[in-house]
Structure 1
Amino acid sequence: MESRNRKQKQESDSPLDTLRIERTKLTQDELAMRCGIPRATYQRWISGKTEARLTMSQLKNLCRELNIDRIDELPSDFGPPKRSPNSET
């Protein structure tokens, strides 16, 4: 299993998921579970489909799991950056 993980370099357009990848060895499912966030909700946040509305308990758990000491270390938006209509793809 370790060799499979080495082959799969994780990347994300989501600032929240980037923090998960950089600061933990947790999968999306594991992080969501440890924070008391439904997996589908976490995935909607990082895809930008919905805006995150965390309970205080979820926020504290998320900061603990991501080793965040100050709230300003969390991104303001968890989803991928918004593209302007004039930007080239």
Structure 2
Amino acid sequence: MNTRSKRQKQESQSPVETLRIDRTTYNQDEFAMRCGIPRATYQRWIAGKAEARLTLGQLKSLCRELGIIKVEDLPDGFGIQTGSSQNE
């Protein structure tokens, strides 16, 4: 779909937003809803304006949607990464 190709061109400094774009076909609204996270909250997380504090259910849903099996595969932060703290 055309919207998918548009989203693939998006660049984000947020590790979770990058994973959403790379691993799902969902837009931000769909992804947040499927994870049980209010859209505005998700947008604050990826903008680095708020620290992510997920419930266990939200964390499980987020991992399921992103295809993450091991907790070690989760990014260290949900917000914007600074150059010195990026881990790959």
**Shorter-chain TM-score tier:** 0.7 to 0.9
Structure 1 unaligned segments of length 5 or more: list them. 85-89
Q: Which residue of 2 aligns with 1:3?
A: 2
The CA distance in 2 between the partners of 1:44 and 1:70, in whole Å, is 25
Structure 2 unaligned segments of length 5 or more: list them. none
What count of residue pairs does the alignment treat as equivalent?
A: 83
Q: Report the aligned-residue RMSD.
A: 1.7
The CA distance in 2 between the partners of 1:5 and 1:52, in whole Å, is 26
Runs of 4 or more off by more than 3 Å in structure 1? none
Instruction: Return the TM-score normalized by structure 2.
Output: 0.85
Q: Which residue of 2 aligns with 1:87?
A: none
Do the aligned partners of residues 83 and 31 (structure 1) sit closer, same or farther apart at CA in structure 2, a change above 3 Å counting?
Answer: same
Task: Determine helix, strand or coil for the equivalent of 1:20.
Answer: helix
Q: Which residue of 2 aligns with 1:61?
A: 61
What is the letter of the counterpart of residue 6 of structure 1?
S
Equivalence map 1:37-48=2 (5 Å): 37-48=37-48
Equivalence map 1:2-41=2 (5 Å): 2-7=1-6, 9-41=9-41
What is the letter of the counterpart of residue 36 of structure 2?
G
Q: Identity, % of aligned pairs? A: 63
Instruction: Return the TM-score normalized by structure 1.
Output: 0.84
Q: Indicate the structure (1 or 2) with the bigger Cα radius of gyration.
A: 1
The CA distance in 2 between the partners of 1:3 and 1:82, in whole Å, is 31
